[in-house]
Structure 1
Amino acid sequence: MSLELHGIIPPLVSPFTADEEPDLAALRAEVRYHVDLGVHGLCVTGSTGDGQMLSLEDSVAIARTAVQEAAGRVPVIAGIIRDSTKEVVRYGREIAATGVDALQVTPVHYLFQPDEETTLRYYRRIADETGLPVVIYNVIPYALIPATTVARVLDEVPNVIGVKQSGGNIHQLADLLRLAPEGGKVFTAVDDLLYPSYLLGAQGAISATLTVVPELCLAQWDAVQRGDHAAALELHNKQLPVWRAIDGPNMTARIKTALALQGRNGGHSLSPLTPVSDAEREALRAALVAADVKLA
């Protein structure tokens, strides 16, 4: 199954109304915003989209809306964060009917971590039973899939086409890139080290910073592609304080505030996420101003 993924793939927020229903109009506006900027793909219902909190119905509605609005201009990936193979397949089959191009799937992580052979069977079954390409989402800090296992899954399971290496672990990313799996691409989600990730060989990024400041991230990706490392480093130094400001236990609430400061509608957050404090809001504002991001 052929699907070309590369470059800057922002993981979108899931906007909600005050009564915690998906705000699909706000989602459509975010899809248009990113596609018009020239991103290379979109991801919905991942961690930045509160995927772990979403019902099947909400996940399907969000995925369907993103696919409709993207209208084939870029690939759309839908995240699934569940804790059994049966549930991942149930979500995946329903989401597949929306027309998404691929699924992004975490390992199970509550309470126990499968061994290597079980992990291979897990991703093989998901790809086989959903009929969609799968991107491994290696994010769970206490259940990280070892680089050697990720490489095996990429090389041995045909429809597993990539991995989003997250968890703030540049060492895991480096180990994985050294192994150079031929069966899929490696994307970085080490937000404070996107530039070094590209230099190590990451074939793109799927990370929260891309959603907050996509123009900076696109410019950095382009700078790396043309070998302009002075520009790429300058952009790194602008992006880094933005990541520091959004990184925290209430990260998706912070991201939505960062969007609002730019005049974008990320919608309300879901309970029980901690609301953004005045101090956090001012830190976000200061980071965006320092990065030369236009505020509303």
Structure 2
Amino acid sequence: MVQLRGVIPAHLLPFTADLEIDEPNLRRHLRALLDIDGVTAITTNAHASEVATLTADEQRRQLDIVLDEVAGAVPVISGVYQDGTAKAARIAADAETAGADALLVFPSVVFEGGSQARPEMAFGHYAQIAAATSLPMIAFVYPATSGLRLGTDAIVAICSQIDNVVAIKEWSNDIVAYERNLRALRALDKPIAVLSSFSRSLLASLVLGADGVLSGHGSVVADLHAELFAAVGKQDLAHARRVWDRIQPFAEACYADPFLDGHNRMKVALELLGRIDAAHVRPPLQAVTDTERDRLRVAVEQAGLARA
């Protein structure tokens, strides 16, 4: 059984100038993450790697590159990003065939039409995907303000009744909802890992309790995530606050409005740090402005991030 604990970055995806997958820079990015003590797994085909812009063939190629570069050093978690349940199940089965160790299952955009009123729809989505694979699954919990959100009862049903589901990526962005979900899952007989994705309030979520951190933001600050997670685990709050004081301004710069540019900004940070050659993004995303690049440069300096 894959142990889902610790710092699990969702890697970014470098593109070439003609917007094809930049394999050399992707491998370089992955090697840098794997060199960090405390990184316990790698997530691919997720928001951070612009999965919405990738074809099915590109998703498979990306997974193959990640598996090859990781070479068994840590588990590889592959995203299942698809609105139709049957299509999502095929993606899950294909990822298992390719050699993925676990799956991160995104909610279907169909949920936005009212999954809170029809929780059996979300349950059926996860159950059908689970039937197509033997891999452990992580259920992606969206913000409490999102139409794709799942209520605590729905989360508990999915986690307790579907054997494959062994963890959640907790991105409710509401500390009250987070604690409610955490306490409900801790009360189950079945162990469910709670992986925080509270990039803008990570310290608070870790202090309440979490088994790890699964975040695209970790693609830039995985070393600081690891240091923060370890400090909280040791109950060294003074140290944890010092680390968080470095992370927080950079998180605010990355996730500022408009939120959709978050991973775009993280790519710019990697470029500024010399960790990738260029921060190309696929449309409909657009390059950030020079003014924003300057703000990110300041945030990188404030965080004391190391250049490659």
TM-score normalized with structure 2 length? 0.91
Matches within 5 A, 1:103-114: 103-110=103-110, 112-114=113-115
| Per-residue deviation, 1:90 | 2.0
Matches within 5 A, 1:1-296: 2-38=1-37, 39-110=39-110, 112-114=113-115, 115-139=118-142, 141-179=146-184, 180=186, 181=188, 182-247=190-255, 248-265=259-276, 267-295=279-307
Please tell me whether the aligned partners of residues 250 and 273 of structure 1 are also in contact (alpha carbons under 8 angstroms): yes
| Per-residue deviation, 1:20 | 2.1
Distance in structure 2 (CA, Å) of the matches to 1:167 and 1:28: 31
| Per-residue deviation, 1:268 | 2.0
Identity %: 28
| Per-residue deviation, 1:144 | 0.3
Distance in structure 1 (CA, Å) of the matches to 2:85 and 2:268: 34
Moved more, 6-15 or 88-97: 88-97
Distance in structure 2 (CA, Å) of the matches to 1:170 and 1:148: 17
SS at match of 1:213: helix
| Per-residue deviation, 1:267 | 4.9
Q: Number of aligned pairs?
A: 295
SS at match of 1:271: coil
Distance in structure 1 (CA, Å) of the matches to 2:191 and 2:5: 14
Please tell me whether the aligned partners of residues 158 and 183 of structure 1 are also in contact (alpha carbons under 8 angstroms): no
Please tell me whether the aligned partners of residues 102 and 134 of structure 1 are also in contact (alpha carbons under 8 angstroms): yes
Q: Deviations over 1:100-130 (max 9, x none)?
A: 1111111112452442222222111111213
Q: Deviations over 1:201-253 (max 9, x none)?
A: 11111112211111111111111122211010111111111111111321221
| Per-residue deviation, 1:288 | 1.2
| Per-residue deviation, 1:170 | 2.3
**Ranges in structure 1 where 5+ consecutive residues have no aligned partner:** none
Distance in structure 1 (CA, Å) of the matches to 2:225 and 2:99: 27
Please tell me whether the aligned partners of residues 43 and 78 of structure 1 are also in contact (alpha carbons under 8 angstroms): yes
Please tell me whether the aligned partners of residues 173 and 198 of structure 2 are also in contact (alpha carbons under 8 angstroms): yes
TM-score normalized with structure 1 length? 0.95
Please tell me whether the aligned partners of residues 156 and 183 of structure 1 are also in contact (alpha carbons under 8 angstroms): no
SS at match of 2:113: coil
- Counterpart amino acid of residue 261 in structure 2: N
Distance in structure 1 (CA, Å) of the matches to 2:219 and 2:108: 25
Q: Deviations over 1:153-184 (max 9, x none)?
A: 11111111111011423222111111124342
Please tell me whether the aligned partners of residues 275 and 307 of structure 2 are also in contact (alpha carbons under 8 angstroms): no
SS at match of 1:206: strand
